[in-house]
Structures are given as structure tokens and as C-alpha cells.
A = this chain, B = another copy of it.
Amino acid sequence: MQAQMTDSIRISVDAMGGDRGPTIVFDGAVLALAERRNTSFIFHGRQEVLEPLLDARPGLKAVSSIRHAEISIEMDDKPSQALRKGRGVSSMWNAIQAVKDGEADVCISGGNTGALMAMSTFCLRPIEGISRPGIAAIWPTLRGDIIVLDVGATVGGDAKQLVDFSILGAALARALFDQDAPLVGLLNVGTEELKGLDTIKDAGRILSQASGAGFIYHGFVEGDDLGKGTVDVVVTEGFAGNIALKTAEGTARQVGTYLRNALKANFMSRVGALFANQALSAMKRKLDPRVINGGVFLGLNGVVIKSHGGTDAFGFKSALGLAYEMARSRLTDKIAEGMRRFPPMAAAATAIPEPEAKPA
């Protein structure tokens, strides 16, 4: 039996979230525990459903507890509806609450993104000085992984919000990649200064002045800079960010389908595929969306990870690994440090009217 280590990372899990039910959650946790032994889990959900699943996995059971929650949030619940029905009584809410109460270091859910963001914002509240939280994606590029945010928590947004995302994204890069001064770029439709939206230009001016305070400001980047890995952190509002994310996923699948079809096209290509099998499998792993799974909610007083709702045990394991690393690298401390080091934070907040804080 695995003794719980004093420095173990405590992960609070919404065991009822996701399209495939709690079994993949437990199987994912077994895999995650095998990779990182000093982890403990709190599983939130219906006791009578979760208990037999945990009993069947004694290694996991040794480092886990179950907290009963009567309600599960459905994938099609609207955020406001989820808040009304789920506050204090749902597995999703309780998983977040455990972070607020200091019982866990990080929360994870594969449930409804809008509901999770609304509940996280309502329960944990935005960090003082940050107008709205964002969702960061870890994006594989030719130069290694980079961070892209926001990929869907916001729609539109002013210059202050883009500056906030830059501070948050840079803190995440420092935490995750151990970079001292990550390169930050603003996603735009042209690299010349004349192009793009005024909000992006305004944010660019503020970031230029602050460059060096925990990040280096690179300037504007375009959609094709994402795959190249031109910068370490790409900042955008959530509408364009979400479209970029899904377009990239779709294009990768499209090219993958072309490749599969090409390798089945004739006898010679099928023979070729056999010879190249090992190398092609390595490439396939690189493109596997389950390897890098999990959006990081940034800007709240606590870390929440959103796993893809449709993933399997292997994918949920990846998201648990991300949650672990976020807690281990003390992301929230890195963010607080980033905000202290950012000189125009106060100036920007007075220069640009602050929008009303509201849950996404």
C-alpha cells in the first residue's frame, strides 16, 4: 500500500464530468498515479456509483477519498442553469470548492466548459487586478510546446484584457516550461503595425513598454506562427483563439486522413507503410490529441483544469498530469509574482476603463 507522502499533490476530481462517465476517470487516475506516485485524489460524485469503481482499484483507493454529490452537471446545461442547480450540491461545484477550502491543490473536470468556467469564476473569484479569466491551451509546434490563450472563455475583449492574458500566459510558461522570460506575441491579421484591431494595437503599446517584466514582448504574430512556434505565448481574445484551436485540430485530422488514405492507395504504398511503421507511429503519437489534453483556467484564485469531454482514460491521464504539474510548479505563485513585476498594471487599469467583472 502506497503511503501518502507529505508533499503529495492533492487533485480534486469531478468524477461525473465528461461524455464517457466515471470509469475513464478512475482508469485515468490509475495511469496517472503510476507515472507520479506522490498524488492523492478526492473524487466528487454519486457515492453509490463511485464506491464500487474505487473498490475495484485498491492501489488508487489507498490515496483517494470519495465525496458524495447529489447532482451532476449535464453537457447541455447552460452556465446560469448549472450555477442555479449545482451550487454546493454538484460534483463540479464541490470539486472546485475543495480547492477554495485548501483541501486540494488543483481541480479537474471533463464536464461542460461553460458551466465549469462560470462555477470556477463564481467560487474562486478572479485574482485582484485581473478583469476576466481565460482558458490556456498547450499547443504543440515545430519548436516544442507553446501556450495559447484565450481559447474560449471570452468573446471580444479590450486591451486591458489582452494585457492580463499576457501576464497570465507568461506566468504559465514560466511555471510549465521553466522559462525565465518567455516571448509573448499578440495574434493579429498582419505583422505590420497598421493592421488589426485598435484593442490589439493598444495592448501592443502597453506590452512594449512593460517588456522585460517577466516576459519579452515580440509584437504581432499571425495564424501560421502558431504551428511554427514563433513565440512562447500567443495572446488573443477567446473567439479568434477558439476558432484557431479548432481549425488547427481539424486541419491536423484532415492531413492525417490524407496520409492514411495515401498509405492504403496501392500495394506499393501498403508495403511502404509496413517499412515505415515505427516512424509513422511515432509521428502519430505526436499528433494524438490525447497526449496533450487539458485547458488551464487562468486568472482565478486557484487552478482548474478542463479535460476534453470526449477523451478516454489515456487522455484523462494526460490532463491529470497537467493538473499535477500546475500544482507542483506553483502556478498561482508564479502569477502573483508576474503581477508584482508588471509595472504598468496599475497605470493600465486607470488609463483604460475597467469592464464590469462578470462570469463567462
Give which listed residue, B156, B189, B251, contacts A227 with CB less than 8 A.
B251
In the complex, are the beta carbons of B262 and A269 less than 8 A apart? no
Interface residues on A, range: 35 or more
In the complex, are the beta carbons of B283 and A238 less than 8 A apart? no
In the complex, are the beta carbons of B78 and A287 less than 8 A apart? no
Return the chain B residue nearest A255 by Cβ: B255
In the complex, are the beta carbons of A250 and B275 less than 8 A apart? no
Beyond A223-B249, A243-B187, A272-B274, whether A283 also contacts B262 by CB under 8 A is: yes
The distance in angstroms between the C-alpha atoms of A192 and B75, with both chains bound, is: 11
- Interface mask (A229-266 → B, CB under 8 Å = 1, otherwise 0): 00000001011101111111111111111110111011
> A56 contacts the other chain (Cβ, under 8 Å)?
no
> A155 contacts the other chain (Cβ, under 8 Å)?
yes
In the complex, are the beta carbons of A223 and B238 less than 8 A apart? no
Copies in the complex: 2
In the complex, are the beta carbons of A255 and B252 less than 8 A apart? yes
> A279 contacts the other chain (Cβ, under 8 Å)?
yes
- Interface mask (A21-32 → B, CB under 8 Å = 1, otherwise 0): 000000000000
Most buried by B among A239, A251, A262, A265: A251
Give which listed residue, B114, B152, B223, contacts A247 with CB less than 8 A.
B223
> A347 contacts the other chain (Cβ, under 8 Å)?
no
Give which listed residue, B76, B223, B228, contacts A243 with CB less than 8 A.
B223
The distance in angstroms between the C-alpha atoms of A240 and B244, with both chains bound, is: 8
> A196 contacts the other chain (Cβ, under 8 Å)?
yes
> A225 contacts the other chain (Cβ, under 8 Å)?
yes
In the complex, are the beta carbons of B272 and A276 less than 8 A apart? yes
Beyond A269-B275, A272-B276, whether A245 also contacts B223 by CB under 8 A is: yes
> A104 contacts the other chain (Cβ, under 8 Å)?
no
Residues on B with C-beta less than 8 A from A276 are: 262-263, 268-269, 271-273, 276
Residues on B with C-beta less than 8 A from A245 are: 223
Residues on B with C-beta less than 8 A from A257 are: 142
Nearest Cβ in chain B — how far from A22, in angstroms?
A: 24
In the complex, are the beta carbons of A254 and B189 less than 8 A apart? no
Beyond A141-B254, A239-B240, A255-B255, whether A246 also contacts B222 by CB under 8 A is: yes
The distance in angstroms between the C-alpha atoms of A147 and B197, with both chains bound, is: 25
In the complex, are the beta carbons of B272 and A246 less than 8 A apart? no
Q: Which 9 A-B pairs have the closest CB atoms?
A: A223-B246, A272-B276, A272-B275, A224-B250, A227-B250, A227-B254, A269-B279, A223-B247, A265-B279
7 A–B pairs (Cβ distance < 8 Å), ordered by A: A155-B189, A189-B242, A222-B242, A236-B243, A244-B247, A265-B278, A268-B275
With A189-B243, A272-B277 already in contact, 16 other A-B pairs whose C-beta atoms are closer than 8 Å: A142-B254, A189-B239, A223-B249, A223-B250, A224-B253, A226-B250, A227-B254, A236-B243, A244-B247, A248-B250, A258-B283, A258-B287, A262-B276, A265-B282, A273-B276, A276-B276
